[in-house]
Amino acid sequence: MSSSNNEVKSDEQISEIQNHLQKMATFLREAHPDYSVTVKLHLLTSHLLEFVRKHRSWSKVSEQGIEHAHSDFKKLHILLAPMKNPISKGFAIVDACSGANFLIDSGDDCNF
């Protein structure tokens, strides 16, 4: 049975989700120690539990938002591809994402 449904979660169910997420993260690290973390996996393991605790459900979360963020990041990566210095590129990515976050928080739309 999946926990990603629209039912209101009890404290016990939230604890169960937490245990599953911790086990999954541990197993993935052991099985693939050299792999990097995808955006989806990061959001799932680092932010889902906080969301479920706050809203008592995870039905409001959709993959569409993650896919949109991935698309924006890919466009930014292509835009910054000519930058050879990884430190400078990292700062440019942080600056662009911070600016986009500010615009979203202020109610404006942002396209890279």
The residues spanned by each domain of the chain are 11-55, 63-105
Task: Give dist(CA 85, CA 13) in Å, integer.
Answer: 46
Q: Read off the pTM.
A: 0.56
Length of the chain: 112
For residue 7, what pLDDT is reported? Answer: 86
pLDDT digits (tens, 9 = 90+) for 14-66: 999 999 999 999 999 999 999 988 877 888 888 889 989 998 988 766 666 67
Q: Is the model more confident about 63 or about 103?
A: 103
With bands split at pLDDT 50, 70 and 90, how would you rate the model's confidence at 108? low
Region of 27 (left: φ > 0; alpha: ψ -120 to 50; beta: rest) is alpha
Among 59, 76, 81, smallest CA distance to 2 is for: 59
Radius of gyration of the CA atoms of the chain, in A: 17
